[in-house]
A and B are shown apart, each in its own frame.
Chain A
Amino acid sequence: MAKQRPVRNVPKWVRWLLPVILLAQIAFHVAGPAPVAIAAQLGSPPAINSLRLAALGEPVGLAVLLDLYLQAFDTQPGVSLPFKALDYQNIVRWLDTILTLDPHSGYPLLLASQVYSQVPDQAKQRTILDFVFRKFHEDPERRWRWLAHASIIAKHRLKDPQLALTYARAIAKEATGPSVPSWAKQMQIFLLEDLGEREAAKILLGGLLASGTITDPHEARFLMERLKALESAELSSKTSKP
């Protein structure tokens, strides 16, 4: 006996109803509003213990989902300045929670330093950069790159070289492992130079060259040239004084 009867055994009204009601479902969906993430709808993150419980032993997987969930609030179609509409204290709480769930992930800090820092609001920029700075102290060897970007944002967007220098000094002081590239450790030298503190920059540069940590000959030559340039600039400024 055949397992299924032919389609002609299905009553005609069922054969008609099925495609018609399927079209009705599609029409209903198309006619309805498209899902849009609204800034005001981003509530506070759940407590970390609740999330750990909800993760069912998979905090890394849940952290990824939360990253994507939070990201959906950044990319609201048709909204030209979506970041401005976001509550940055709340964003920081979300990022902090996600980072606590998965401390090895760079995703929340990337969102903070590269995405949320683009907001055209200095107070919000400072809030998010401060978050990156705070989280850097917990794992400098792994998180230096986000603070380096924060330093650049502080210098060029916030026009606050002192804040940029604070971040750069923290990298040089705390991120001392071999995985941290020299340019990151040297950031403070160039920032000091920009600030007009040539003497401090010269000492730092000289110390770096003398320490033997620069192994690449091209890099060493470049830094030597920078040191010479600083010294000649210092000399010319002294001779030009009345």
Chain B
Amino acid sequence: MLKSSANTALTPLTARTLAIARYTLLEAWRNRFALLLIGMLIVAVLASIFVRQQAITESARAQVAFLASSLRLGTVFIVAIYVLQGSLREFHDKVLELMLSLDLPRSSYLAGKFLGYALISVSCAVAGSLPLLALAAPQDVFLWAYTLMLELWIVAAFALFCITTFTQFLSGATFVLAFYLLARSISAIQLVSQSTLAEPGLATDFGAFLADAIALVLPRLDAFTQTAWLVDAPVVPLSMPGATLQTAIYVTLLLAAAMFDLQRRNF
């Protein structure tokens, strides 16, 4: 069932992983994910035109800034919700149990699911960059889209980890939202906690220590997908190899944690 003719030349494990990824993509297609993505793009572009018309100065800059930040949040939202909802359905409909009964290692299932979601994320990043190409320099849009893709991979991996661990939509969505907001704002929180204007004391020191400790286990998403790259001179706080390495480490960490929970789960 899980093998396809295209995968026969691969090792059985890789073929199974690719088959899961393929079915994840197929499911997204059948769930009209593409239509949702296109709809979101159209709404964002129309809203950005409205912003441009309303701006009394720097109208082009306002449009690009609004469009880029809307697309970033919009794609993150639909990818996170899709991963949570799609994975949860497999848990509840016993699809996962059925697949695991077919000599499919749990690691292959998880890797295949993530691969599928990663490809969906790539399509979101590419689609999101298309309207921006008409408004900003292509090399800046490429940098923006590339880091958006990495950001979506991290969000997808985190959503997959949450749903594997909690198997509940509400808990999963809450954790994904909290994680995303914290990862986007942790640098600012660290700076605020280091303020020399605050009253010195144990509580201030503890606050600063806590902010630094949380930052250690979070990716610096504030350095990814900057709208400023599209509207101002490109300033890259985290280099492309740096962002790629951070994503590789963090996605591996999340998948390892998800794998740990999945391996311990009794079906």
- A residues in contact (CB < 8 Å) with B: 1-7, 9-11, 14-15, 17-18, 21-22, 24-26, 28-30, 32-37, 68-69, 71-72, 74-75, 77, 115
Q: Are A1 and B217 also in contact (CB < 8 A) when A17-B252, A17-B256, A72-B192 are?
A: no
Residues in chain B near residue A29, CB distance under 8 A: 215-217, 220
A-contact bits for B235-267, CB 8 A (1 contact / 0 none): 001100010011001101100110110011110
Q: Which residues of A sit under 8 angstroms from B266, Cβ to Cβ?
A: 1-5
User: Is B14 located at the chain interface by the 8 A CB criterion?
Assistant: no
Q: Does B190 contact A (CB under 8 A)?
A: yes
State in angstroms the CA–CA spacing of A33 and B245 once bound together. 15
Whether the pair B216, A30 counts as a contact (CB closer than 8 A) is: yes
Q: Would A18 and B257 count as touching, CB distance under 8 A?
A: yes
Interface string of B213-228 (1 = CB under 8 A from A): 0011100100000000
Chain B residues positioned under 8 Å from A24 (CB to CB): 249, 253
A21 engages B195 (CB within 8 Å): no
Contact A7 B197 (CB under 8 A): no
When distances are taken between beta carbons in the complex, the residues of chain B under 8 Å from A11 are 107, 263
Closest chain B residue, CB of each to CB of A18: B256
- Contact check: which of B107, B220, B238, B260 meets A15 at CB < 8 Å? B260
Q: Which of A10, A37, A71 contacts B197 (CB 8 A)?
A: A71
* Apart from A33-B237, A69-B188, A75-B191: 10 A-B pairs, beta carbons within 8 A: A14-B263, A15-B260, A21-B249, A21-B253, A22-B217, A25-B253, A26-B216, A32-B220, A35-B188, A35-B220
Q: What residues of A have a CB within 8 angstroms of the CB of B265 in the complex?
A: 4-5
Some 28 contacts from A to B, beta carbons below 8 A apart, are: A2-B266, A3-B266, A4-B264, A6-B264, A11-B263, A14-B256, A14-B260, A17-B256, A21-B249, A21-B252, A22-B217, A22-B253, A24-B253, A25-B216, A28-B249, A29-B215, A29-B217, A29-B220, A30-B216, A32-B220, A35-B187, A36-B191, A37-B191, A69-B192, A72-B191, A75-B196, A77-B194, A115-B197
Chain A: which residue is nearest B196 at the CB level? A75
| Interfacial chain B residues near A71, Cβ < 8 Å | 192, 195, 197
Q: State whether A35 and B217 are in contact (beta carbons under 8 Å apart), knowing that A7-B264, A10-B260 are contacts in the complex.
A: no
